Amino acid sequence: MSTVDNAELQERLRTTRLVAILRGTDVDATVAAARTLLQVGVLTLEIALTLQDAEEAIAQIVQDAPATALVGAGTVLDEADVERAVSAGAQFMVTPTLSASVRYAVSQGIGVLAGVYTPTEIQRGHDLGSAAVKLFPASALGSGFLRAVRDPFPQARIIPVGGVRVDTVAEYLAAGAFGIGVGGPLVGDATAPGGDLEALAVRASAFVQACAMDDPRLP
C-alpha cells in the first residue's frame, strides 16, 4: 500500500466515517486487534507511534489489510516520525497538535489529520492543508461545541476524538462531524496481551452501524 493524499483521505473518510485508534502496549496484540477490526468492517485504522516497535505493527497490518483499508500512524510529532511511519507502510498521518509534522506531511503529499482544540487551531489546521482536523479531547467540549463552532466554520472538516461512545456517535454526526475517531470505547483491552477480541468485534459492529446512520453533514 502507498500513501494517500489529502483529497483521497477526505473521500475515504466521507465513506467510512469511523477511524479506530489503536494505542497498544504489545505488537502482536495490536496486530490481532487490527485484523479483527478489519474483518468486522472498520477499514480506517490509526496505529499510535507510542507503541514500542510500532513500525513492525504497521508493517504487519498493512501486509494483511484489504485494498479498501487505510492504515495510518498516530502521535506523529515531527518529520522523523513521518518518515519512519511511511517507511513502515503507513498511508496517512495523525497528529495530536499542530506540530511540524503537519506541514511536512502536506509538503510530501501525504494525507494528515491534525490535532486541534480551539477555534483558532481549527482554522490553522485547515490553513496548513490538513485533510481534516481531529478535535481532542472531544468529551471535554461535547457535541454542542462542535455545532457552535461550525457556525463560523461551516466547511470545517472536524473529527471528534476522545470519549466518543457508541451512544453519542449520532449526536456528533448530527452536530456536523466529518467523521468519528474512537480509541478506548471501541478498542478496550484488545491491544494488550490476552485482550478480548470477541468483545472487540461486538463493539466494532455497533460502532460501524452507528456511523452508517444517515446524518445531515455537509459534503
Answer yes or no: 46 catalytic: yes
Active-site annotation holder among 83, 121, 134, 198: 134
**134 counts as catalytic:** yes
Instruction: Please state the three-class secondary structure of the chain as a single string.
Output: CCCCCHHHHHHHHHHHCEEEEECCCCHHHHHHHHHHHHHHCCCEEEEECCCCCHHHHHHHHHHHCCCCCEEEEECCCCHHHHHHHHHHCCCEEECCCCCHHHHHHHHCCCCEEEEECCHHHHHHHHHCCCCEEEECCHHHCHHHHHHHHCCCCCCCCEEEECCCCCCCHHHHHHCCCCCEEECHHHHCCCCCCCCCHHHHHHHHHHHHHHHCCCCCCCC
Which residues are the active-site residues? 46, 134
